[in-house]
A and B are shown apart, each in its own frame.
Chain A
Amino acid sequence: MDIRFNGKAIPIQEGDTVASALYRAGQRIFTRSFKYHRPRGLLCCSGHCPNCLMNVDGIPNVRTCITPARAGMAVKHQNARPSLDFDYLAIAQQFDWMMPVGWYYKNFTNPRMWHLAEAQIRKVAGLGDPPPPDAPEAVYEHAHMQAGVAVIGAGPAGLNAAREAASQGERVVVVDDQPRTTPGDSSYTLLSRSYCFGLYEGNLLGVLQSEPHSGARERLVHIRAKRIVVATGAYEAPLTFKNNDLPGIMLSTAVWRLIHRHGIQPGTSAVIISNETGDSAIAAELRNVGIAVVATVPPSDVLEATGSKHVTGLRTRRGAFACDLVVMCGHRIPDAGLLSQAGAKLEWSAEAGAFVPTELPPNITAVGDVAHALVRAASTLVSMPNKRTFVCFCNDVTSQDICDSVAEGFDHIELLKRYTTTTMGPCQGRMCQLQAIGICARETGRAIQETGVTTSRPPNPGVTLGALGGARHHPIRRTPMHYQHEELGAVWMDMGDWKRPRYYKSAQTERESILREYHAVRQAVGVIDVSTLGKLSLKGRDSGKLLDKVYTNRFSDLKPGRVRYAVLCDEAGIILDDGTISRPLADARGYNTGDPGGTRSVAPSVSAGTIDDFFITTTTGNLDFVEQWLEWWLAGAGWDVQINNLTSALAAVNLAGPKAREVLSALTSCGLSNAEFPYMACRNAEVAGVPALLMRIGFVGETGWEIHYPAESGEHLWSALMDAGRPFGICPFGVEAQRLLRLEKRHVIVGVDTDALTSPYEAGMAWVVKHDKADFIGKFALGKLESAQAQQSLVGFTMNANQIPEDGAAILVNGALAGRVTSARYSPAVEKAIGLAWVTAGAAAEGAQIEIRVAGAPVRATVTQRVFYDPDGARLRM
């Protein structure tokens, strides 16, 4: 049973953490410090300090002192080259005069110099390397829990509180960060190896659990609790003296842990630094395991520690002592970060020598050491300025740095924090905060209470990004015909959550495949899946009123059996969405002859609509907005309208091309002639035995029908169309061909050719605004816009040379910027590149010459207001 450390086998024992196994095997230097690359060894052994961070199984910055060792783990040191024992970057210490606090603010005032230096500094400093892109992806997940009481910390006080709450019938969750599992008590749920990194509004706790099961590395648990008991205890913070960061100088709690948890003897001869006079408890512990206690000295007497890679002695006012272990009985600080996040106040207690929480918010309680700070302050000793006395172990901030910063004017504790970065490293202030506050108070001559404490913010401790991201459950929306597209060779594109075929791979190249689809629609027949369109049904006698209010054109007068183009604007007259609105035919009783897919025979409840019903389509991306917009304007109006979102319930296809009628007539008894089913009409009919709503509309500019029908028959009807269309050369077409086809017809796509400032007037769609109807949304603004001189217009253009600009390309007139391209494609009908563009009013005239930037160079183009293909729409009415 062993782990690999830098490739070497290290034996592990039952109950070992990675750090304890390494320590037992003789490892003393665990990390190299952030800035000076000084050797650092175990300090806290409780997951609070930055001294044992290593790369474990490819994950950087793992706190090895609380990570259980598991056979086969690959552990690597970080931030030291070539090794922890010999790190050539330790030379940085010799140049500390070049790197005073804030040195990069002072030296790299030139942005170019900073960019050069940045890369180098990042290599020297920093906290390990992120996993390489080709590293196997670790599995992370989320979970949610609701609890009556959540207890943070499984110490004696926490477990007491948990048992008490459980005995009152509460559902209790206990969160603890230590690797042990507390002996069983089934009255509560224990999340071990879990730490709470934040307390959020509404008593929401963010908890990170390591290895919740064999299949996952970390689990982020969201706990919503009625009551939270904080039992995080107190932690010990180091003392400050010269060379206080040498390996072999440990907190007393760390020594205790090594002895009792791991059976390790952390030295042979020890000096204890403690305020306690006489024989301290820790001295007895040391002697019990055979460590000689050379001396016990008070912190005020300590001058410096000696040694280069490990402590070899301690110089004090009482003399110098040789030793290989220095035990610091440090300040005991309530771990009150969560309480502070909950809104509690932290007040300085001179008696406890610490900031203690007061004024707890309701439903938050604190028990144990976090609430009752121990009067075991080692001392309130504040260190004098020294370049080798480390206050912040994470970022190598010395007492000299803190004093210098105050002298430079950064004398507010929050400014001091940001300038020196003390409290901003992985320990988030646990090791350094009190010392920094103490020095700041002394240097500014203010009281500690007045100096105050920096704000605790989640996440604390840090959380891996993978855990925040959670499992890869990105939602995907598939239309009912998804797998048929796949079988036809669809090349997919994402549209929001939707997957849509961009084109079907039918030829060698993408361009050929798309052209093939294009020609099929123009010359024979094509079919496209438009199930992603938003589909809303409106029922109730005031439906027409609502539509008149919300859309710019009029719908109350729409005759049954007809379809009308619909544009929706906001109060400022900006186009928000477009689509179609149809009014299905009614029978003699005034009832609809069937809702789309109303399955008349099967579901009378659905077909029991009346003549007042309408059916709206919206653009793919705007459905949710349009639905909410309609609901919003309906709210409080007292109108009889029911809005029903049928988007997921219905599949839809658009069958288009000169042969569309012949294909469709093979599948339906519905009359399709121009007399029976004219352009912009709608009918309910069965197609291939499936009840459907058919609309004769023409986005792509050919005779065609949009067919809406129940999603569960999605594959059936698609197959029927493909079968019936085969003799006519039917071809499925994707979004790319559709965009080309519509561009030739100069049809605008809202959100592509329009933006957040586009009104119907500028977009050349003045005809969709009906000013002669009663008030509607945007009426006032549209009235103003109608009479105002448009600043810019949406125009068509053809390229003079055979080059295709990119969407968004800049337009120049006489060398000055005069607009941008919104859509451009090569048009087989025009045999040139064509497009739509926004241009300034002066450049919008028919035949105006503009220049468009293509691949960095201006290319000439001619403005046109004409439709590129079939301007009279004759083909739509064939």
Chain B
Amino acid sequence: MKRSALHRWHEKAGATLAEENGWYVPLRYSNAEQEAGAVRGSVGICDLSHLHEPLSPYARFLIAGPNTRAVLSKLTSLNLDLTKAYGSVAHVRSLVTRHELGFLLMIPRDYAESVWESLLHAGEEFHITVFGLEASRRLEA
């Protein structure tokens, strides 16, 4: 079974993990409805690394919710009005692209946990939440 760079983080956070296309994926951390609500109300992050191409050097995060820009602007000087930008996010060269729910971040895999923690730290003032695939599907629906 393939593991995202955040696998251990998810485990520690008490995520319910499931198998999807040969990967362990976090379905939810507590309650999908609450997670989706917290994202709609403020901001949340989700690990989508399992959606990557084979042999990708990147982890993928989705950051979504009305306070997305406020959180990202604490970690990057990239112009978030662009649809796609490449540059430093929490001091790590990353690719930031617009997503229907917010922004998709592609972070070099070995920096993934570091950037994830930075996002959570920067988002503290907005009560940032982590959300699993179930919540992300609700948000997309």
Q: Show the binding face of A for B, using Cβ within 8 Å.
A: 141-146, 213-216, 222, 224, 471, 473-480, 482-483, 497-498, 531, 595, 597-599, 602-603, 605-606, 645-650, 710-716
Contacts and interface: CB of A to CB of B under 8 A. Distances in A.
A725 B37 CA distance: 48
B124 to A, nearest CB: 6
Nearest to B82: A146
B122 A712 contact: no
B5 A711 contact: yes
A647 B56 CA distance: 10
The residue in A480, A531, A646 that gathers the most chain B C-beta atoms within 10 A of its C-beta is A480
Interface string B40-81: 000000000100011111100000000000000111111111
Given A602-B54, A649-B55, A142 B91 contact: no
B81 A146 contact: yes
14 contacts: A224-B77, A474-B91, A475-B91, A477-B111, A597-B55, A602-B54, A606-B55, A648-B111, A649-B55, A650-B55, A710-B55, A711-B109, A712-B2, A716-B3
Given A144-B73, A483-B8, A476 B55 contact: no
A595 B121 CA distance: 38
B85 to A, nearest CB: 11
A215 B56 contact: no
A458 B3 CA distance: 48
B55 A648 contact: no
The residue in A474, A475, A598, A599 that gathers the most chain B C-beta atoms within 10 A of its C-beta is A475
Interface in B1-34: 1-5, 7-8, 23
A602 B58 CA distance: 18
Interface in B119-136: 121-122, 124-125
Contacts of B108: 477, 648
A76 B108 CA distance: 47
Given A649-B56, A712-B2, A471 B74 contact: yes
B90 interface: yes
B55 A598 contact: yes
A471 B122 contact: yes
A645 B121 CA distance: 30
Contact of B55 (A224, A477, A595, A714): A595
Interface of B: 1-5, 7-8, 23, 49, 53-58, 73-81, 90-92, 108-111, 113-115, 118, 121-122, 124-125
Contacts of B115: 475
Contact of B114 (A142, A477, A479, A710): A477
A475 B75 CA distance: 12
Contacts of A144: 73-74, 76-78
B17 to A, nearest CB: 14
A213 B71 CA distance: 13
A473 B121 contact: yes
A479 to B, nearest CB: 6
Contacts of B56: 649
B54 A599 contact: yes
Contacts of A598: 54-55
Given A141-B74, A471-B74, A473-B90, A712 B23 contact: yes
B90 A475 contact: yes
Contacts of B124: 215
B58 A648 contact: yes
Given A144-B76, A479-B110, A216 B54 contact: no
B73 A648 contact: no
A215 B57 contact: no
A687 to B, nearest CB: 15
A642 to B, nearest CB: 14
A478 B73 contact: no
A647 B81 contact: no
Contacts of A216: 125
A599 B21 CA distance: 14
Contacts of B91: 473-475
A646 B57 CA distance: 6
B57 A213 contact: no
B111 A716 contact: no
A599 B122 contact: no
The residue in B49, B110, B124 that gathers the most chain A C-beta atoms within 10 A of its C-beta is B110
Contacts of A712: 2-4, 23, 49
Given A599-B55, A710-B54, 11 more contacts: A146-B79, A146-B80, A215-B125, A475-B92, A476-B113, A478-B110, A595-B55, A597-B55, A649-B55, A711-B109, A711-B110
The residue in B2, B7, B91 that gathers the most chain A C-beta atoms within 10 A of its C-beta is B2
Contacts of B90: 473, 475
A475 B2 contact: no
A606 B2 contact: no
A716 B114 CA distance: 22
A649 B76 CA distance: 24
A217 to B, nearest CB: 13
B111 A475 contact: yes
Across the A-B interface, the 3 shortest Cβ-Cβ residue pairs: A603-B54, A648-B57, A712-B2
Contacts of A716: 1-3
Contact of A478 (B58, B78, B113): B113
A839 B109 CA distance: 43
A606 B118 contact: no
Contacts of B121: 471, 473
Nearest to B78: A144
Contact of B75 (A213, A473, A646): A473
Contact of A473 (B54, B73, B118): B118
Contacts of A650: 55
A164 B97 CA distance: 33
A143 B122 CA distance: 10
Given A597-B55, A711-B109, A712-B3, A213 B81 contact: no
A813 B97 CA distance: 63
A615 to B, nearest CB: 12
A471 B119 CA distance: 11
Contacts of B75: 473
A789 to B, nearest CB: 45
Contacts of A482: 8
A16 B107 CA distance: 47
Contacts of B122: 141, 471, 473
B70 to A, nearest CB: 8
A602 B21 CA distance: 11
Contacts of B58: 648
B113 A145 contact: no
Contacts of A214: 125
Contacts of A595: 55
A479 B73 CA distance: 28
B6 to A, nearest CB: 10
Given A215-B124, A648-B58, A477 B73 contact: no
A648 B77 CA distance: 24
The residue in A473, A474, A597 that gathers the most chain B C-beta atoms within 10 A of its C-beta is A473
Contacts of B118: 471, 473
A213 B123 CA distance: 12
Nearest to A595: B55
A846 B7 CA distance: 54
Given A475-B91, A649-B109, A710 B73 contact: no
A815 B42 CA distance: 72
Contact of B57 (A478, A603, A647): A647
Given A475-B91, A477-B110, A648-B110, A715 B3 contact: yes
